[in-house]
Amino acid sequence: MNAKHTVAKVRRPEVRFQEQIYLIEVWKGLVITTRHLLVNLYRHLSVALGRGGPAGSVTTQYPDDPQVTAKRSRTRHRLLKREDGTPRCVACMLCETVCPAKCIYIQAEESPDVMVEKRAKTFKIDLGMCVFCGYCVEACPEDAIRMDTQFIAFPGMTRKDLIWDMPELMGDVKKDPKPVKAVDPLGPAAS
Amino acid sequence: MAKLVKFKLNGKDVEAPEGQLVIDAAKDQGVEVPHYCYHPGLGNPGVCRLCVCEVAGAPKPQMTCRTAVKEGLDVKTDSPVAKRAQASSLEFHLANHPLDCPVCDQAGECHLQDYYQRFGLYKSTVREDKRHKEKRKDIGTWVMLDQERCIQCTRCTRFVDNVTKTHELAVFGRGDRSVLDLYPGMRLDNPYSGNVVDICPVGALTDKDFRFSVRAWYLDRTPSVCTGCARGCSVEVHTNTKRPWHTGGRRVARLKPRYNPEVNGWWMCDEGRYGYKSADAKTRVKGSSVLGTDGQPAQLTPADAAARVAKELRELCADNGPEGLAFLVSASLTNEDLFALKALMKRLGVPLSNAVLAPGADQLGEEDALLRRKEKVANLSGAAALGFGVTKGPEALKGKVWGAWTVGRAGHGSWIGLPFTLWQGANAVRGSDTARWVLAGAHWTETDGTVVNFSGRVQRLRAAVPPLGESAPAWAWFGSVLRALGGAFPHDDAGSVFAALSAAEPAFAGLKFELPKDGVLLPKGRPEAATA
Ligand code: SF4
Ligand code: SF4
Ligand code: SF4
Ligand code: SF4
């Protein structure tokens, strides 16, 4: 029999009176901001004066400055190719099976090459759902899927933009990181 | 029954009938001995040598599929000698095996994989190159052969030799050059060819229809009964609902026979096996409708449809008399459906003889001595047991009726022009679109209920998937029209209908909805009319 899927109801916190009158919450937020300001001011001063201690935080000017990630960070997926340019993937669906985020979608078909036998007709990964655990890379018996490191610039304007198809995963179609335009908070120059 | 004798199994004293195969006696005791060639339906040639175990007094490990139980026998299936013998046998099987598991449909339900994990786990000592043979050989309508994966257990050749007696397959050559192949000039296209895929313990024979669609581990399995003919083979309905993209949205992925010694043994026919496709076919009727004055169908909600059909029937019955309403019903309907139909007819005052259940021309087909019956409907005996006539065709009613309510069968077109025409069913058929009213019926894979096969055995259908769209089982439609007419029908599942049925119908007296898995015979035996 089919497993009956039960949908867990998530209880949202209710908006209390204290939150509704707004002023108390604004005040609480200001306290947090001020605490960060003072702590960082203290830390930066302390380092600058040679007294050591933990370094203060710095805001990265992303995307003008590159984001720095760990050397071995797991980022976007890449489908590898055979020497003749066809994908190594044989659509065994082990990555789809192991994926804890259930964000891999494969459809299989007959391969024209009898020695390959089976291949992926479609292979999609929803990077918006992926948790970048790397299990898919571990599971693959064909070394057909790997993950790049330090490549985090794959923004999209819709959730659909984050679903990558085979050509993009194989690198045949570039998913160019769309440069995020610096937006002037005051709007277009009113001069 | 042979007399019981005592023997020792893994040091324990156990009893078994004298002469029983040790492998079966061990299975009865819950001890599994690995095996490929032995199949209870196909005999024990002893070619795979995997079931070797230690037998006290024998100089070498003995095959448990060729050793009979006798008084004082002392068998060890898990001694170091037995285990080593089994692992070595398995290594020999895998010496030339390609290990294509990533592209092999059998993965997940493969006896090589399972046995390696449970009885193998050796370090391979084979250093030689593997032998290559033909891969992807299209050998029949439904079956694809991979000669490299074949382990020469000869189950399939024994199936075509002893069960279908069609002799298409054989193992040719010797030693590591032996290959499974077709006899020259033949193709595997007998009406039971799909069974070789089930009995192949490895992925050498795969199902072309199922090939590469779903991985075995994604499937849900529901025990049910094939409604393809009056045999009513026990089947398992395998459904893929969690990852619909693998089957392009089709929910039912395949059927497999389910062992039932009383009905179908281990087998089923190809017609039944591939008949599942109607469940998700384009012809499915998903919603109910009524033809408007402009000749275009207008959609109806189920409640609306039942209420309006009831209103129209009440008026027509009052004006023209209820004897003028004919019910043309497929005898594949379950007992619950027919019981509800009976109640509806009684309420309307329509005589039972106005129901036609005899199979139409499109419901008759081929018959053979193995399984297939010529009546391609599942519940002729059930209909007869419920008091319906099952031999009379619709001809007798022609010209005498003002209304025709057709359920799940073709030929509705011949009733065009009557004041009341209704067609109800799961898949649109020839003539179904000519009816004024259309009620969406559930497919048999979506239906809970009971059917009675030609020999009078009652078996349980189980819904593997919920009804598509707004379709509903026939008993629910009859019940809601009956309620709209002011009658009582206090049931909202098939089990409750069956409880009322077994209380009201003497032929079903004492039966419970939770039938044993092999089904049971009708307490009073098969009704006479169904044999005609
Ligand atoms: S990294 Fe993890 S979550 Fe992301 S696709 Fe691979 S298995 Fe799924
Ligand atoms: S595990 Fe590897 S070969 Fe299998 S489907 Fe995923 S990428 Fe393809
Ligand atoms: S038959 Fe298929 S699944 Fe089984 S071991 Fe061989 S390749 Fe793997
Ligand atoms: S013999 Fe009849 S019941 Fe059995 S599988 Fe074939 S069609 Fe279905």
B60: left (phi over 0), alpha (psi -120 to 50) or beta: beta
What's the pLDDT tens digit per position in B195-212?
999 999 999 999 999 999
- Residue B162 has φ and ψ, to the nearest 5°, of -105, -30
Please list, in sequence order, all residues whose beta carbon lies within 8 angstroms of the beta carbon of residue B393, skipping any fewer than 6 positions away. B356, B358, B360
Looking at residue B529, what is its pLDDT? Answer: 56
- Calculate mean pLDDT across residues B241-250: 94
Given B94, B117, B135, the domain boundary residue is B94
Domain-located, residue B475 = yes
Tell me how far apart the alpha carbons of residues B86 and B49 are, in angstroms, rounded to a whole number: 8
Does the N-terminal peptide bond of residue B61 adopt cis geometry, omega within 30 degrees of 0? no
Looking at residue A186, what is its pLDDT? Answer: 54
ipTM of predicted assembly, 2 dp: 0.86
Please list, in sequence order, all residues whose beta carbon lies within 8 angstroms of the beta carbon of residue A188, skipping any fewer than 6 positions away. none
Tell me how far apart the alpha carbons of residues B33 and B76 are, in angstroms, rounded to a whole number: 10
- The top-level CATH class assigned to A76-169 is alpha beta
- In this structure, what token pair is assigned to residue B110? 């493969």
- Domain locations in chain A? 17-48, 76-169
pLDDT confidence of B187, banded at 50, 70, 90?
Answer: very high
Q: Which residue has the higher pLDDT, B417 or A34?
A: A34
User: Least CB-CB distance to A117: which of B136, B222, B245?
Assistant: B136
Please list, in sequence order, all residues whose beta carbon lies within 8 angstroms of the beta carbon of residue B75, skipping any fewer than 6 positions away. B7, B8, B9, B10, B22, B26, B53, B54, B55, B56, B64, B67
Query: Which neighbouring-strand residues pair with B341?
Result: none
- Calculate mean pLDDT across residues B264-287: 96
Task: Report DSSP letters for B120-135, one per residue.
Answer: I-PPP---SPPP----
B146 exposure class (CB count in 10 Å sphere: 0-12, 13-18, 19+): buried
- What are the E-state strand segments in chain A? 77-79, 104-110, 118-126, 145-147, 163-164
Among A67-81, B369-383, B495-509, which stretch is predicted with the lowest mean pLDDT?
A67-81
Looking at residue A180, what is its pLDDT? Answer: 45
Closest chain B residue to A106, measured at CA? B246
Measured between beta carbons, the chain B residues lying within 8 angstroms of A118 are 102-103, 212
Using most ligand atoms within 8 A of CB, pick from B113, B144, B145, B205 the residue to mutate for ligand 3: B113
Domain-located, residue B432 = yes
Instruction: For residue B307, give Cα distances in angstroms to A149, B314, B344, B439, B476.
Output: 64, 11, 14, 12, 13
- Calculate mean pLDDT across residues B383-397: 90
Residues B348 and B315: beta-carbon distance below 8 Å: no
Which of B399, B417, B388 lies closest to B328 in space, CA to CA?
B388
- In this structure, what token pair is assigned to residue B14? 């156990």
Using most ligand atoms within 8 A of CB, pick from B48, B202, B212, B217 the residue to mutate for ligand 3: B202
Alpha carbon of A1 to ligand 1 centroid (Å): 29
| Ligand 3 interacting residues, C-beta cut-off 6 A | B 97, 99-101, 104, 106-107, 110, 112-113, 149, 202-203
Res B444 pLDDT > 50: yes
Q: Looking at residue B451, which CATH number applies to its domain? A: 3.40.50.740
Residue B22 CB neighbours (<10 A): 27
Q: Do B462 and A107 touch (CB under 8 A)?
A: no
A5 to chain B nearest CA, in Å?
A: 10
Domain span at residue B86 reads 4-94
Looking at residue A190, what is its pLDDT? Answer: 40
Please list, in sequence order, all residues whose beta carbon lies within 8 angstroms of the beta carbon of residue B300, skipping any fewer than 6 positions away. B287, B288, B289, B290, B308
Residues B527 and B385: beta-carbon distance below 8 Å: yes
Tell me how far apart the alpha carbons of residues B258 and B266 are, in angstroms, rounded to a whole number: 6
User: Least CB-CB distance to A2: which of B101, B217, B239?
Assistant: B239
pLDDT in tens, chain A (191 residues): 444 556 678 888 888 898 889 999 999 999 999 999 999 999 999 999 999 889 888 888 887 887 778 888 999 999 999 999 999 999 999 999 999 999 999 999 999 999 999 999 999 999 999 999 999 999 999 999 999 988 888 888 888 989 999 999 998 887 765 544 444 455 554 43
Residue B525 CB neighbours (<10 A): 11
Given B94, B114, B147, the domain boundary residue is B94
Ligand nearest to the CA of A143: 2
- In this structure, what token pair is assigned to residue B174? 């010797």
Residue A179 CB neighbours (<10 A): 10
Looking at residue A177, what is its pLDDT? Answer: 53
Pairing of strands B74-76, A163-164: unpaired
Residues A59 and A37: beta-carbon distance below 8 Å: no
Measured between beta carbons, the chain A residues lying within 8 angstroms of B213 are 108
| Ligand 4 interacting residues, C-beta cut-off 6 A | B 226, 228-229, 231-233, 264, 268-269, 271-272, 371-372
Q: Collapse the DSSP code of B325 into the 3-class scheme (helix H, G, I; strand E, B; otherwise coil) and give the result.
A: strand
- Calculate mean pLDDT across residues B4-13: 94
Residues A78 and A166: beta-carbon distance below 8 Å: no
Looking at residue A4, what is its pLDDT? Answer: 53
Domain-located, residue B24 = yes
Q: Looking at residue B85, which CATH number applies to its domain? A: 3.10.20.740
Using most ligand atoms within 8 A of CB, pick from B164, B224, B233 the residue to mutate for ligand 4: B233
Tell me how far apart the alpha carbons of residues B40 and B20 are, in angstroms, rounded to a whole number: 12
Q: How many CA atoms lie less than 13 Å away from B264 in the CB half-sphere?
A: 30
Count structural domains, chain B: 2
Domain-located, residue B418 = yes
- In this structure, what token pair is assigned to residue B45? 């040639």
Q: Give the amino acid at B18.
A: E
Residues B288 and B264: beta-carbon distance below 8 Å: no
| Diameter of chain B measured on Cα atoms | 91
Which of B178, B432, B393 lies closest to B291 in space, CA to CA?
B432
To the nearest whole percent, how much of chain B has pLDDT over 90? 88
Q: Do A117 and B103 touch (CB under 8 A)?
A: yes
Residue B461 CB neighbours (<10 A): 29
To the nearest whole percent, how much of chain B has pLDDT over 70? 99
Given B60, B94, B128, the domain boundary residue is B94
pLDDT confidence of B513, banded at 50, 70, 90?
Answer: very high
Residues B31 and B64: beta-carbon distance below 8 Å: no
Looking at residue B1, what is its pLDDT? Answer: 63
Residues B166 and B193: beta-carbon distance below 8 Å: no
pLDDT confidence of B532, banded at 50, 70, 90?
Answer: very low
Res B446 pLDDT > 50: yes
Looking at residue B286, what is its pLDDT? Answer: 95
Domain-located, residue B123 = no
